[in-house]
Amino acid sequence: MEWIEIKTRPLTDEEEELYPFADFMFDCPVPDVFENVLVTLGDGRIEVDMFDDYGYSGVDFSEYGGIVIAWKPLPKPFRKET
């Protein structure tokens, strides 16, 4: 799977009421809540991070929120056929 670029947008008035502490809304596909994924930070690093739910603050990556520029699902584990 290809990298999914992080894109954001301002909140609508309705979203501001629902998420009073959020600063933005994701405008791209995002991982499932609590899913571990690969993230890239734009400086050559690739890390594993979890997509977390912060309630009224919304959702974001737990370790690198705010500096992730793209993400993709972890690969499926290798399974040796017997």
SS3 sequence of 13-25: HHHHHHCCCCCCE
- pTM for the whole structure: 0.85
Question: Phi, psi at residue 60, to the nearest 5°?
Answer: -170, 175
* Any domain includes 62: yes
* Any domain includes 69: yes
* Any domain includes 79: no
Interatomic CA distance for residues 12 and 47, integer angstroms: 31
Q: Which residues pair with 40 in a beta bridge?
A: 46, 70
Interatomic CA distance for residues 40 and 1, integer angstroms: 14
* Any domain includes 51: yes
* Any domain includes 81: no
- What residue numbers bound the domain in which 56 lies? 4-73
Q: Name the domain count of the chain.
A: 1
pLDDT (tens digit per residue) in 8-64: 999 999 999 988 888 899 999 999 999 999 999 989 999 999 999 998 788 999 999
